[in-house]
């Protein structure tokens, strides 16, 4: 049986966390959650023209107590109507798949 040695290179984990495929995967999930939440948002029987739920994508801290950093994606209720809607129906949690 062969033994495999793993040598951890400094900065390799950070490069993976900030890489293009990881970033695009996270942004894709965030966009799906925002679109799902926006599809449930209605205003007077009509679909709201401006998105009430918005996705934001940004890099995390490059330096910190342990030097960890990762790409962050968040979906927030942007309009007051969306905030009330999310408080009443937990739309973001359902869109993420947490309340099945």
* pLDDT at site 75: 94
- For residue 65, is pLDDT > 80? no
Residues 24 and 36 sit within 8 Å (Cβ to Cβ):
no
* Low-confidence winner among 26-40, 63-77, 82-96 (lowest mean pLDDT): 63-77
Mean pLDDT of 44-63: 74
* Res. 53 pLDDT band, cuts 50 70 90: very high
- For residue 1, is pLDDT > 80? no
* pLDDT at site 8: 83
Give me the chain's average pLDDT, please: 82
* pLDDT at site 84: 93
Q: Model pTM?
A: 0.77
């Amino acid at each position: 049986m062969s033994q495999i040695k793993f040598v951890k290179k400094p900065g390799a984990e950070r490069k993976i966390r900030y890489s293009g495929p990881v970033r695009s995967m996270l942004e894709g999930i965030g966009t799906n959650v925002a679109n799902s939440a926006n599809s449930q948002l209605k205003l007077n029987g009509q679909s709201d023209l401006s998105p009430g739920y918005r996705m934001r994508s940004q890099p995390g801290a490059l330096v910190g107590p342990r030097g960890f950093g990762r790409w962050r994606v968040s979906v927030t209720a942007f309009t007051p109507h969306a905030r009330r809607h999310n408080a009443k129906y937990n739309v973001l949690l359902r869109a993420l798949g947490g309340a099945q």
